[in-house]
Amino acid sequence: MRVLVAYDGSPASEAAISEVLRRPWPAGTRIRIATVTERPLSAPPPSGLEFYAPLVERVRSSLREEAYQRIQKLLSRFAARPELEASYELREGSPKQALLEMIEEWHADLVLAGSHGKGNLARLFLGSVSHALVTSAPCNVEIIKTKSEQQTL
> Helix, strand, coil proportions of the chain in percent (round to 5)?
50, 20, 30
pLDDT in tens, 34-63: 999 987 655 555 555 555 567 777 888 888
d(CA 70, CA 11): 13
DSSP for 40-73, please give it. P--SPPPTT-TTHHHHHHHHHHHHHHHHHHHHHH
Identity (one letter) of the amino acid at 140? Answer: N
DSSP 8-state symbol, 96:
H
End-to-end CA distance of the chain: 32
Q: pTM of the prediction?
A: 0.82
Structural domains in the chain, CATH included, are: 2-152 (3.40.50.620)
pLDDT in tens, 123-141: 444 458 888 999 999 999 9
